[in-house]
């Protein structure tokens, strides 16, 4: 078994969604596993001076079209959210709560798909509860857990860990100490895991 892949993502990030749809199959194909680590990208922006790419209008316009092409490549749904940008604190805490209830990855995928393809509003506790319930979780309990220190502390720790390891954007992957930034780094990560970049 190879080194696990640490996958730092924020539900508010378009390319985190795209990468999330691919990373489990990618890891399986490469004989490894994924540690899903939701973190607050906004805090990494504050810490590093980096900014949301969509703040540059020409870049924002391009990235929407680009994400549309990646979604077609991956054959996953994509529709730019009406309520963009997303305050992702509740969603990220809910992913951690769902993880503590044994359903982190399915919940994360369902939540990201809801926001990035189905018009879902992840700032609403009712929407979070509905996503959890569909997976057989106790929706009300997941929402309640988002207020607990056992959940909030994990999000804070993931964010501090990300910043300490040099993260300035999302998604960011680590394979051991090697960092890879962006959904578009999967081909490079593949070559790295196969030992082709030594």
Site residues, a second copy (CB under 8 A): 48-50, 56-59, 61-62, 65-66, 69-70, 72-73, 166-169, 178-182, 184-185, 187-188, 191-192, 196-198
Looking at the Cβ atoms of 53 and 106, the one nearer to a second copy is: 53
Please, what is the minimum distance in Å from the beta carbon of residue 63 to a second copy?
Answer: 9
For the four alpha carbons of 51, 159, 40 and 183, in that order, the dihedral sign comes to positive
Closest separation in Å from C-beta 185 to a second copy: 7
Closest distance between a second copy and the C-beta of residue 159, in Å?
Answer: 14
What's the closest the beta carbon of residue 46 comes to a second copy, in angstroms? 12
DSSP 83: S
Q: What is the DSSP letter of 54?
A: G
Name 7's Cβ contacts closer than 8 Å, sequence gap at least 6: 19, 20, 23, 34, 35, 36, 37, 171, 173
Let me know: does 167 contact 179? Beta carbons within 8 Å. yes
As a whole number of angstroms, the distance between CA 64 and CA 141 comes to 35
Tell me whether the omega of the peptide bond preceding residue 85 falls within 30 degrees of 0, making it cis.
yes
Q: By C-beta, is 39 or 107 nearer to a second copy?
A: 39
Q: How far is the CB of 10 from a second copy (least distance, A)?
A: 16
| Nearest CB to a second copy, comparing residues 105 and 163 | 163
Cβ closer to a second copy: 68 or 124?
68
CA distance 133 to 183: 29
Q: Which is nearer to a second copy, 69 or 141 (CB)?
A: 69
């Amino acid at each position: 078994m190879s080194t696990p892949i640490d996958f730092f993502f924020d539900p508010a990030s378009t390319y985190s969604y795209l990468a999330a749809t691919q990373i489990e199959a990618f890891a399986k194909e490469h004989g490894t596993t994924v540690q899903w680590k939701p973190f607050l990208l906004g805090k990494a922006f504050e810490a590093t001076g980096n900014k949301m790419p969509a703040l540059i209008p020409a870049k924002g316009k391009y990235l929407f079209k680009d994400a549309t092409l990646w979604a077609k490549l991956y054959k996953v749904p994509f529709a730019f959210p009406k309520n963009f940008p997303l305050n992702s604190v509740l969603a990220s805490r809910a992913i951690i709560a769902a993880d503590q209830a044994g359903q982190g990855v399915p919940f994360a995928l369902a939540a990201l798909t809801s926001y990035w393809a189905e018009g879902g509003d992840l700032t609403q506790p009712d929407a979070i509860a509905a996503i959890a319930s569909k997976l057989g979780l106790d929706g009300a309990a997941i929402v309640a857990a988002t207020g607990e220190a056992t959940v909030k502390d994990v999000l804070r720790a993931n964010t501090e860990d990300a910043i300490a390891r040099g993260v300035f954007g999302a998604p960011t992957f680590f394979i051991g100490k090697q960092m890879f930034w962006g959904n578009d780094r999967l081909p490079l990560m593949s070559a790295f895991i196969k030992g082709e970049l030594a």
